Structure 1
Amino acid sequence: MSLSFHKMHANGDDFVIVDSRNAGNSMTADIARRMGDRNRGVGFNQLAVVLDCDDADANVMFWNADGSTLDVCGSATRGVADMLMRESGMASIILRTNRGLLTCERTVTGTISVSMGEPLLGWADVPLTEEMDTAVLPLGGAPAACSMGNPHCTFFVEDLATIDIATLGPALETHPLFPLRTNVHFVQIIDRQHIRLRIWERWGGIPLGSGSCCCGAVVNGIRRGLLDNTVAVECDGGTVTVQWDGVGSVILTGPVLRVFSGTFAATRS
């Protein structure tokens, strides 16, 4: 059996889309791991499997490169939306994910905007192992935490150049406070409408960007009174825009680009 796929990226945050509409879901943890292998497979930060859906334009399931699943991926959601809108000619679609129904739109500049849902701010929703104020965690550097369907921990620093992300990231990801591990953000505030963000991604290392991490970082900055409601988030691979009014859904907007399409040998010969 072979699987057709599309390789795309959002400012270097790369992902693979497998369109399984009208075909059934054949994705497994083993296939996801083999596809995600950057030496022996296709390679990706996340994998999106597109399925038929009764109450939305499509249902989307997400996988990490290690074969684990996640509820949402902002970059891959925008990629699926771009693909389906090009296919249908529509400027707006709705996708069902484990995060809920996400509305996606193509902007006048051609970028893709997705309503990522309301952030979860309670300690049990992140989740954390014990009750506490998620706006200021009892860790060195006093980070903030939230969930965008996956856990986020945000540190605000004076100079990103002084942060050893490869050392700090994995230690914080696996800190006992986070029973499901966590994405870790390091934010340098340029001004109230512009931040620089570097990321240690849960299960994934240091990516060029991450849609959900951009959302989580801005949410935590707004909660701390450090940022305005619309923020340009500059990652290693490029810039996206995140909007949050403090109560409703977080809006993520940025470019996506298809790189190539192909087939993957899902069964070993």
Structure 2
Amino acid sequence: MTAILSASELRGELAGARPPVLLDVRWQLGGPDQRPAYEAGHLPGAVYVDLDRELAGPPGAGGRHPLPDPEDFGAAMRRAGVRADEPVVVYDGGLGWAAARAWWLLRWTGHRNVRVLDGGLAAWTAAGGALGTDAPTPTEGDFKPNPGAFGLLDADDAAALARTGLLLDARAGERYRGEVEPIDPVGGHIPGAVSAPTTENVGPDGRFLSAGELRARFAALGAAGDTAVGVYCGSGVSGAHEVLALEVAGIPASLYAGSWSQWSSDPERPVATGPNP
């Protein structure tokens, strides 16, 4: 099973005997609630999931989007109809970051059959897929989270991996270099981390590059052989998209969920600037 699927593949599965549960995870960084956009049109049968409230805990010492309490997350997924033995497909309306966050959380907590719609809502409509406006009332699911199925890093783990393996910084290059920092307390990057903007994992249409192209990209950044790979971003959202890209490429990777928002909030932690690790 691959981590992503195309709009045409999804249409076929929705018409089949075992249609997946659909989760709409539209989200805009610093923007308004996306529920009105969902209500205006979504994939038929899709349930809206709020990233800030259901895929993250309250902002604080753990960063801007710390991991949610596993039991709270499990309850949210059950409300959305997620079952342990049924497939799940997640999508969003833009870059794929929010969908990847849902994908990563479900995988980390033990769901074995979850995929992201490659290209999101735009890919669906471009392929002729219909949209609906009725909000479904799903049957309560039975998914119970069992955290630990995917690699998770804390700040100390990330610092160590930057020295002994490969730690990728998924933010824009100018934030990595410390030239601008629009959100967090200080600009720059974790010493030893390599710049790898997640926007370079997709083409102009928002769909992932091929597995071969992604493997070549990550190999050029240092992901080769048995090298341990980790990813961070600003707050653990776009970093999940990079972990997804690595999964497509066949490269296992861990996520530093607290990411730069947590790292930079501690004045005792070192900060590097400029283009080099």
**Both structures adopt the same fold (TM-score exceeding 0.5):** no
The structure carrying a bigger strand percent of its residues is 1
What TM-score, normalized by structure 2, do the two folds share?
Answer: 0.29
